[in-house]
Amino acid sequence: MKFSSAVAAGLFLLASMAQVAVAQVEREKLLSEPGVYGTFAVFKLSEDWWKVDKAARASAMAEVKGVFQKHADKIIADTYLLRGLSQRADLMLRVHAREMVHNQNFLLDVMGTALGRHLQNVETFNGITKKLNYVPSFPDELKTELKTPPPQGSPYAIVVPIQKDAEWWTLAQDERTVMMKEHTDATIAYLKTVRRKLYHASGLDDLDFITYFETARLDDFNNLVIGLLKVEENHHNKRFGEPLLLGTIRPLDEILEVLAR
């Protein structure tokens, strides 16, 4: 008996580990492959939330975690705490899936929880990942530099929605490439301390791009952005931020704990 239950436990452990490993592989794929849909859903807690009694607030947290687990096979979701650093919002979810409707279904369930009913959805950005447009024609040296491994475990995240002007879009492709190279050159110095990810949003939102950054060095990030303001391409930003969202990357548990205090 002892033996068989130990075997069972061992098998269960192996299966769990395998499941976690599979989930991890799928997570890496969704975060790196083209053709993945990303939805950034940004929320502010309504004042009424604090009138809910503390026990109900705590049980609401379990409900939210259940929603995350329920959809874990279709979506991955990262969580951010904006409260304290942004007047617009308290909480951000970054959701990825192979179909936009999976993002919607997950968010419908989050918004349908007891907590979700007190969340005002103040911003939503929708985008899709693609192969990098400009990189293929860049010089080899630059291509090599762009392979610098990004930093891991950064505490801060910044989201900057971007919209280009009509002049940008009607430029010839090679003119845009020249400007994108200048843009890329300005970022090289920060590849080690700032991780970047790009989403295309034209037609999916009132945006052209969602740019997402992670860093431990906000001073570097400030300098990186100043570098980007100084290149020619900056003349073609009809919208840069507005809102720029700055927050800290924190696990769901910690965020929910802050909101249940």
Q: Does position 101 bind a second copy by CB under 8 A? A: yes
Euclidean distance between CA atoms 185 and 169, whole angstroms:
21
* Rg value, the chain, Cα: 21
Q: Residue count at the site for a second copy (CB under 8 A)?
A: 73
Residue from 27, 83, 196, 239 carrying the catalytic annotation: 196
Using alpha carbons, select from 197, 210, 214 the residue that is nearest to residue 151. 214
Q: Does position 59 bind a second copy by CB under 8 A? A: no
Q: Pick the stretch among 62-70, 71-79, 143-151, 217-225 that binds a second copy (CB under 8 A).
A: 217-225
The nearer residue to a second copy, 177 or 248, going by C-beta atoms, is: 248
Q: Does position 48 bind a second copy by CB under 8 A? A: yes
When binding is defined by CB under 8 A, the residue of 87, 136, 139, 174 that contacts a second copy is 87
Q: Does position 128 bind a second copy by CB under 8 A? A: yes
Q: Does position 111 bind a second copy by CB under 8 A? A: yes
Q: Does position 257 bind a second copy by CB under 8 A? A: no
Instruction: Give the E-state strand segments of the chain in sequence order.
Output: 37-45, 76-81, 91-97, 119-128, 156-164, 194-200, 209-215, 237-240, 245-249
For residues 224 and 170, is the Cβ–Cβ distance under 8 A?
A: no
SS3 call for 88:
coil
**Within positions 170 to 189, which residues make up the interface with a second copy, using CB under 8 A?**
170
The nearer residue to a second copy, 208 or 214, going by C-beta atoms, is: 208
Using alpha carbons, select from 108, 93, 80, 82 the residue that is nearest to residue 38. 93
222: left (phi over 0), alpha (psi -120 to 50) or beta: alpha
When binding is defined by CB under 8 A, the residue of 57, 64, 67, 86 that contacts a second copy is 86
Using alpha carbons, select from 103, 152, 101, 133 the residue that is nearest to residue 198. 133
Q: Does position 80 bind a second copy by CB under 8 A? A: no
Tell me how far, at minimum, the Cβ of 140 lies from a second copy, in Å. Answer: 28
Tell me how far, at minimum, the Cβ of 31 lies from a second copy, in Å. Answer: 18
The nearer residue to a second copy, 140 or 242, going by C-beta atoms, is: 242
Q: Does position 248 bind a second copy by CB under 8 A? A: yes
Euclidean distance between CA atoms 120 and 53, whole angstroms:
19
196 is catalytic: yes
Catalytic residues: 196
